[in-house]
Structure 1
Amino acid sequence: MTSRSAATRSRKATGSRQPGRLRGIDAARGVALLGMMATHLLPTFESDANLTPTWIGLTFSGRAAALFAVLAGVGLALSTGKNTPLEGAQLSAARRGVALRALVVAAVGLTLGGLEVNVAIILVHYAVLFLCILPFLGLGVKPLCAWAAGWILASPVLAYLLRPWLLAPEPPLNLGHNPAWDDLATPTRLLADVFFTGYYPVFQWLSYLLVGLVIGRLVLPKAVTPVLLLVSGTVVAVAAKALGTAAMEDWGGRAALEQVLNAPGYPLGSVLQVNLTGIQQEGSWWWLASAAPHSGTPLDLLHTSAVAAAVIGACLLLERLAEWVDLDLLLPLRGAGAMTLTLYTVHVWVVSGFYLKPLPAGWTEDGMFFAQAATAVTIGIVFARLRWRGPLEWAGHTASLVGRGGFKALS
């Protein structure tokens, strides 16, 4: 008891951490998981003629999925040298491990894509992002900052120019559904959808993994780092959203876009607040001036990346607080966050069981969400207490070990 107390006082005095997983990062993953579940199960618009946004839509739409992607970059940075990137043979081995892990995630995503479900499944895009980020894993903070800034600014412009060309053929080069195994038979359409015309356009979303790599290359255990992430992320997020809102509402952007849509009565104002998916952004450069969720514009990417940074900073600060008071305050979030692939997969499978069917008697949408969220948290706590990996996390980890060192790594 005395030695444990001494160690605790030492950590408090020096601000150092014990080696291992950063619980704040796992907790942030838990926030992302619960946020995505909320947007899947709870209405993001009211059922009125104006499609009035709900607080769920205003809070989580676009942000939860972006946080999930940014955390992927953070995790890759932490597994490839933290603030000192790997080099040479170690870096090559790490890249092989990431590539094999991506194949596991892609296989799960393609399998889920065969389900009939009203959920935009992110896993195939997630896996492709893992492959696309491989060339950047050996970079340090400064070059990564340059790449992230350039990608946030340039990728939406290039996507805006390419999308009309990809959507011009008959049929257009987009799937209109979640990628599934059958889509491998039409690779051109599949790749166009995954990179440009689908729900999570990888071409722009690579920005999130680059931002995550930047965050993960910082010295996260330093006391000042979470504060900087929280403060700077909040300031940038507010500024980006304010600029996008001003462009749409004060400078004539929304009026110009309503003329392009030529659909009188269409609630574009509400859509710009919650989800721009489904609207073909063409015919006006004003599309690139919005900060609408799921628009993939520079301001949207900047805003959601900054929100993710702020959430990560807040969770890391809560981790330090938990260490200070010697209580595992983050357990409900970090447990679920350590096995997001398994829990997300089960969540999608359960939701598919209610597709186009009425909810069981006595159940509401709120009740369904809280039941699934509570189940995910409970399972996460049990696995965390037992120090088990989730089944799909084990598969991904095993694939990564094989890629890094061959089958000898498993012995």
Structure 2
Amino acid sequence: MTSQETAPPRKAPGGGSVSSRLRGIDAARGAALLGMMSTHLMPTFGPSPQWEPTFVGLVFSGRSSALFAVLAGIGLALSTGKQEPRSGADLWAARGGVAMRALVIAVVGLTLGGLDVNVAVILVHYAVLFLCVLPFLGLRLKALCFWALGWVLVSPVLAYLIRPLLEANPPLQLGHNPNSEDLGTPVRLLADLFFTGYYPVFQWISYLLFGLVMGRLALKTIKVQVLLLAGGTVVAVVAKLAGVLAMEAWGGRAALESLPTTRGYPLESMLQVNLTGLEQTGSWWWLATAAPHAGTTLDLLHTGGTAAGAVGLFLLLGTLAERIKVNFLIVLSGPGAMTLSLYSAHVWVVSGFTDKPLPAGWTDEGMYWAQALAAIVIGVLFALLRRRGPLEWVAHTASRVGSYRPAVEG
């Protein structure tokens, strides 16, 4: 959620410094932020008893958060050597910086987790993902591809086998956002973060690996940008089609609807929007879905493919902006460069309206557009001033401390 791209810094007005960056990556991050905010503030299902999926549910649910995670992997690749990964002492220094950045994100996430808010806060999971991919930062492209493919194929099966053991009575599951009090029950906290919670880190490592693979490519070339757009689109479509066929044509949904744990749920709509809340046990058909937040191979491939396509699209738009010398992406790249601050502010604002009526004349849609516009204005302002967001500054400073290596006397 914090930008990771690094390059020789250039001085900003007022004595600060900012880094040269790929505008398309920040723009994609900004789009992910706005998409995620939409799922927090606007309905993803229509009213009962139909529970029809809404536009927001069909388009953004599961995909925006996956894009965040993929972009994290891309950022880590860009900050650890781009196409040529760092090695030796440089690599260990980079890992130290990433670990310190993860610590800052975790602290912010635990703090937000203490708020009374009906939002699944991703930050603690995000920080743990950073730590989990530290061993992969020194791998080259070919090795990363093998790891990414293996992880997306194997991790959902292992999670399916492990999860019932953790969901037994009493379940090793939080049922709320991780907060500082949960540090007192580390086994339950880790079980929730990795397997039983909203963003299961064990499967989500796949997204970081996808991002590392993309970040090791020559992202500034048109060829790679088109490859990401076209290849990601094809993977997303094929994975979703396979999931739909498995559920609707081959009997998967009928088999799942017969389970005691799904009776009373609008499974047809949930398969299109979000499977969170369902106990995905008792049938191997669960592994054949491509539903958002299912954590299956098809879900990871579909949402990873949409993320790759989005990255390719925004990189192409960034290339176009550079060629015509008009930075029209600033409306997304501005907020995209300070998503940790803006996401945290968004969660804090939403907590103020939890279980309370909206102000007179306000609607869910109006609340979303007000917050989205505020995020864009603040992001553009910071971009024009060439300043980091406040939490980005803290994370960047922590990263520099973590990656510091004292000079060796010659």
- TM-score scaled by structure 1? 0.93
Deviation at 1:190, TM superposition (A): 0.2
- 2:126 aligns to what? 126
8 Å contact kept, 2:148–2:206:
yes
- 1:252 aligns to what? 251
Deviation at 1:265, TM superposition (A): 5.0
- 2:395 aligns to what? 396
- 2:303 aligns to what? 304
Which runs of 5 or more residues in structure 2 are unaligned? 1-18
Closer, same or farther in 2 for the Cα pair 1:78/1:281, shift >3 Å? same
Deviation at 1:406, TM superposition (A): 5.4
8 Å contact kept, 2:36–2:60:
yes
Q: Output the CA distance in 1 between the equivalents of 2:263 and 2:39.
A: 28
Deviation at 1:263, TM superposition (A): 5.1
Q: Output the CA distance in 1 between the equivalents of 2:316 and 2:290.
A: 28
8 Å contact kept, 2:256–2:262:
no
Q: Output the CA distance in 1 between the equivalents of 2:391 and 2:74.
A: 19
- 2:89 aligns to what? 89
Deviation at 1:128, TM superposition (A): 0.2
- 1:380 aligns to what? 379
Q: Output the CA distance in 1 between the equivalents of 2:209 and 2:45.
A: 31
Closer, same or farther in 2 for the Cα pair 1:65/1:407, shift >3 Å? farther
Residue 363 of structure 1 aligns with an amino acid whose one-letter code is W
Closer, same or farther in 2 for the Cα pair 1:243/1:123, shift >3 Å? same
Q: How large is the RMSD of aligned CA atoms in angstroms? A: 1.1
Deviation at 1:222, TM superposition (A): 1.1
- 1:337 aligns to what? 336
Q: Output the CA distance in 2 between the equivalents of 1:375 and 1:339.
A: 13
8 Å contact kept, 2:338–2:388:
yes
- TM-score scaled by structure 2? 0.94
Closer, same or farther in 2 for the Cα pair 1:401/1:308, shift >3 Å? same
Closer, same or farther in 2 for the Cα pair 1:406/1:395, shift >3 Å? farther
Which runs of 5 or more residues in structure 1 are unaligned? 1-18
Matched, 1:46 2:46: yes
Deviation at 1:264, TM superposition (A): 4.8
Matched, 1:142 2:142: yes
Residue 157 of structure 1 aligns with an amino acid whose one-letter code is V
Q: Output the CA distance in 2 between the equivalents of 1:278 and 1:261.
A: 14
Closer, same or farther in 2 for the Cα pair 1:151/1:263, shift >3 Å? closer
Deviation at 1:261, TM superposition (A): 3.4
Count of residue correspondences: 389
Q: Output the CA distance in 1 between the equivalents of 2:392 and 2:296.
A: 32
Provide, for residues 13-59 of structure 1, a one-character-per-residue CA deviation record: whole Å limited to 9, x for no partner. xxxxxx92000000000010000000000000001202100010000
Q: What's the secondary structure of 1:405's corresponding residue? A: coil
Q: Output the CA distance in 2 between the equivalents of 1:265 and 1:125.
A: 30
Mean CA deviation greater in 273-282 or 318-327: 318-327
Matched, 1:201 2:200: yes
Residue 310 of structure 1 aligns with an amino acid whose one-letter code is G
Q: Output the CA distance in 2 between the equivalents of 1:340 and 1:124.
A: 15
| Structure with greater helix share of residues | 1
Q: Output the CA distance in 1 between the equivalents of 2:94 and 2:238.
A: 37
8 Å contact kept, 2:53–2:272:
yes
Q: What's the secondary structure of 2:258's corresponding residue? A: helix
- 1:71 aligns to what? 71
